[in-house]
């Protein structure tokens, strides 16, 4: 099956390239640095109370919870910077993968980089508010209208309000599925943008046309990759958590379990980025060859 071939190729191809491996380890270092800064700030602003045991939502004290929220708010600018860096790495990975598969990607100058960020915003926006499927916009509009109707009807008829509530949830589910489908239709935007020298609107339209009738096939491939990373991530995180818990008991800091298990999550996150990126380019190569 072509699906199996594509997945095998994306799982192994990136490791044979020095540039992609450097970016892989760069992602890991960035996430480790972010985790380290977060832990340091928690230690500074909350103190040893936060690290004396593993806190769960039901047993966190209100004052500690508020401090934890405050620390995360202070980290927000750093998170924004981190997000921009990871997106930039994604751009580089796409181009590296294209080069490996013999697809020309053109020059990557400052203008192209800025346009890449604009394209990222455009693809996300188009997934939710697609001009290719204007009728889809009726779903969120109807959801808002039905919500107001439900609020107005509650004092009059609770049963009718429940029926409207079910309708609202069905609309939300339908819209959510449609957004996922749109996202799949637009996933080839970056390979198209780098190889075909089109405008942003033309790029989005070209990706939409290239994936016509292929959305389910593409979804299955990404679903398999997601399932693999989910299973690997779950197993690795659980194993590291148990190891960290034993170490934590030994040194008297049970929070060690959370820190060590985070290492597994960081590794799987970096692997997922590599696999998703390479699979995107493989799919682009296949649809262009047909």
Surface-to-core class of residue 4, CB atoms within 10 Å of its CB (0-12 exposed, 13-18 middle, 19+ buried): exposed
Q: What is the pLDDT of residues 95-135, one digit of tens each?
A: 999 998 888 888 888 888 999 999 999 998 888 887 767 77
More confident residue, 71 or 91: 91
More confident residue, 68 or 119: 119
Surface-to-core class of residue 134, CB atoms within 10 Å of its CB (0-12 exposed, 13-18 middle, 19+ buried): exposed
User: Which pLDDT score is estimated for 143?
Assistant: 82
pLDDT band at residue 269 under the 50/70/90 scheme:
confident
Residues 6+ apart with CB under 8 A from 58: none
* Mean pLDDT (whole number) for 69-81: 85
User: Which pLDDT score is estimated for 94?
Assistant: 93
Question: How many whole angstroms separate alpha carbon 115 and alpha carbon 204?
Answer: 13
Q: What is the pLDDT of residues 129-167, one digit of tens each?
A: 877 677 777 777 888 888 888 788 877 777 787 888 888
pLDDT band at residue 47 under the 50/70/90 scheme:
low
More confident residue, 88 or 253: 88
* Mean pLDDT (whole number) for 11-36: 87
CA dihedral 198, 204, 210, 213 (to 10 degrees): -170
On average, the pLDDT of the chain sits at 81
Inform me whether the pLDDT recorded for 253 exceeds 60. no
Q: What is the pLDDT of residues 76-103, one digit of tens each?
A: 888 899 989 999 999 999 999 999 888 8
User: Which pLDDT score is estimated for 255?
Assistant: 58
Q: What is the pLDDT of residues 171-216, one digit of tens each?
A: 888 888 888 888 899 999 999 999 988 888 899 989 998 988 888 8
Would the CA dihedral through 73, 226, 98, 30 be positive or negative? Answer: positive
User: Which pLDDT score is estimated for 57?
Assistant: 47
H or E element at residue 141: helix 138-153
pLDDT band at residue 55 under the 50/70/90 scheme:
very low
Q: What percent of the chain has pLDDT over 70?
A: 85
């Amino acid at each position: 099956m072509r699906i199996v071939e594509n997945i095998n190729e994306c799982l192994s191809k990136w490791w044979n390239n020095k540039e992609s491996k450097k970016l892989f380890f760069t992602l890991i270092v960035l996430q480790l640095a972010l985790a380290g800064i977060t832990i340091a700030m928690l230690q500074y602003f909350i103190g040893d109370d936060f690290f004396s045991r593993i806190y769960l939502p039901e047993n966190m004290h209100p004052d500690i919870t508020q401090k934890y929220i405050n620390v995360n708010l202070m980290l927000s600018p750093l998170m924004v910077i981190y997000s921009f860096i990871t997106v930039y790495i994604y751009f580089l990975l796409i181009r590296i993968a294209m080069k490996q598969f013999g697809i020309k990607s053109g020059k990557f100058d400052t203008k192209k980089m800025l346009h890449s960020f604009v394209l990222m915003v455009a693809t996300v926006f188009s997934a939710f508010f697609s001009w290719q499927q204007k009728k889809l916009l009726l779903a969120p509009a109807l959801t808002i209208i039905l919500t107001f109707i439900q609020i107005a009807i509650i004092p009059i008829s609770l049963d009718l309000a429940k029926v409207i509530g079910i309708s609202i949830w069905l609309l939300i589910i339908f819209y959510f599925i449609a957004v996922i489908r749109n996202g799949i239709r637009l996933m080839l935007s970056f390979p198209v943008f780098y190889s075909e020298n089109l405008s942003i609107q033309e790029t989005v339209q070209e990706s939409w046309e290239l994936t016509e009738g292929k959305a389910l096939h593409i979804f299955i491939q990404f679903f398999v990759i997601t399932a693999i990373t989910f299973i690997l991530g779950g197993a690795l995180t659980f194993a590291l958590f148990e190891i960290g818990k034993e170490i934590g008991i030994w040194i008297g800091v049970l929070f060690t379990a959370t820190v060590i298990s985070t290492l597994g999550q960081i590794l799987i996150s970096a692997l997922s980025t590599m696999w998703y990126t390479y699979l995107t380019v493989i799919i682009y190569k296949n649809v262009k060859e047909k």
